[in-house]
Amino acid sequence: MKKTDLEKLNGLKIRSRMKNTDTPDRFAKASGGANAGAGVNPLVAKLLRKGLDDQGKA
């Protein structure tokens, strides 16, 4: 076999292994993360309220 054929087969093996594995919990809904219960940043909340107020006036 040529070297390119071997590399192609290795790539196909890797792709099939990646397809058949489940999504790790750190990316899934089960992950709460370090700041899962944290609220919205006060500055962001202020800007959101201001934006909503401006939309209501227009």
Q: What is the pLDDT of residues 9-27, one digit of tens each?
A: 999 999 999 888 877 666 6
Report whether pLDDT(48) > 70: yes
In a domain, 23, yes or no: yes
Question: What would you report as the CA-atom Rg of the chain, rounded to the nearest whole angstrom?
Answer: 24
Q: Is residue 46 part of a domain?
A: no
For the segment 28-43, the average pLDDT, to the nearest whole number, is: 64
Residue that the structure tokens 């093996």 belong to: 13
> Which tokens belong to 42?
């006060």
Q: What is the number of alpha carbons within 13 Å of residue 27 lying toward its C-beta? A: 3
Q: What is the number of structural domains in the chain?
A: 1
Residue 44 lies in a domain: no
Mean pLDDT of 26-40: 60
Per the domain annotation, does 57 fall within a domain?
A: no
Domain that holds residue 4: 1-27
Q: Would you tell me how many other CB atoms lie within 10 Å of the CB of residue 56?
A: 7
Asked whether residue 58 is domain-assigned, the answer is no
Domain assignment of residue 6, yes or no: yes
